[in-house]
Amino acid sequence: MSTTETDGEAGAAEARLEVRSHPLCLDHRPHLGHPELPGRVTAVLEALAPPADARWRLIPDSPLPPEGDVLGVLEWVHDGAYIERVRSAAASAKGWLDSEDCAVSAGTFASATAAAGLALQAGLDLVNHRVDRVFVAARPPGHHAERDRARGYCFFNAAALAAEVVVRSWNRPVLIVDFDALHGNGTQQHFWARGDVGYLSVHRYPWFPGTGTADEVGTGDGLGATRNFPIVEGADDEIFCTALERGLEELAGRLRPAALVLSAGFNGHHADPTGGLRLTVAGYRRLTRAVMTAARAFAGGRVLSILEGGFAPVALAEGARAHVEELAEPDRSGSKAGMAVN
């Protein structure tokens, strides 16, 4: 296996958080000037070089499932015809797919499939008790991708796929927590009428993609399983984190999820010009601690975090580092909360 595990020798076996990526995630290369460039993942991986105490394992060449397996399960969240459209667009190096923000290059399909594959493998490893917490540093992002349409730099919805893996394996609810500055319209759409997957989003509104109002709460079996907290441009740590904490209290308490899946966006950082929010490193620490409190209370500490937005490399690296440091913090409460899952 070509995986490089850049952790300390003594701490590697004990680390329960893994940071995973793959070189194929760099092959999607939109035109110069596009915000979603390969340097995003490079900046994150450089920032996440583990400390001497090896609180996490950094695996920049993490093994992927066979491509056929990835494409097969992708049909849980995307139409087969759409998956083939993404493949064809990349093969022809078409300028963009479905909307001009979804720029396409020859490597787009490989990168998007690798991102989905990392999420799939992380979900499988979580349900098979090989890992409790994973941060997937992959691109392109996914939470805007709809069942049959690319949107907002997104092609395949990795977070939705990871949630499906856990739900279908354990027949237990999952809670998706989206703290990207933009609403995850694709994820909400996919689980809109589902009661087994909750979707919580705190995001700037009004703003792209135009969804995510407070009265969007799901329908049918999914009524009440979607919870949106739209916040105004310029909102700071206190506004954002208070909303997230409230949503976690409501939805985690209602669903009692077996795991939490995070759409981890860092475009709300005050130095990122695309998000219009004023979050700081302290804010990303606080929101991650809130997630971990809920995960330990209901899900045995199981968290699968997937990189979404964040388009200012330095700000992205700062936010991701703070997020991973908090994910890696041990539970010092002495609690054994969380239901066991076979």
Those residues whose C-beta lies under 8 Å from the C-beta of residue 187, and which sit 6 or more positions away, are: 143, 157, 159, 160, 176, 178, 199, 263
Beta-strand pair 259-264/99-103: unpaired
Of 22, 78, 143, 144, which one is the catalytic site residue?
144
Q: Which helix (H) or strand (E) holds 306?
A: strand 303-307
> Among 206, 182, 185, which Cα is nearest to 267's?
182
Q: Quick one: DSSP state of residue 223?
A: T
Burial readout 244-263 (b: 16 or more C-beta within 10 A, e: otherwise): bbebbeebbeebebbbbbbb
Sign of the CA dihedral with 88 first, then 94, 99, and 102 last? positive
Q: Backbone phi, then psi, for 58, in 5-degree steps?
A: -100, 120
* 144 part of the active site: yes
Rounded to whole angstroms, the Cα distance separating 211 from 218 reads: 13
Distance separating alpha carbons of residues 122 and 130, to the nearest angstrom: 9
Cα(59)–Cα(137) distance, integer angstroms: 10
CA distance 273 to 334: 41
Helix (H, G, I), strand (E, B) or coil at 99: strand
Structure tokens that stand for 150 in this block:
């690319």
Which structure tokens are listed for 279? Answer: 């979050």
Tokens of 299: 């899900």
Q: How many CB atoms are located within 10 Å of the residue 322 CB?
A: 22
Q: Which residues are catalytic?
A: 144
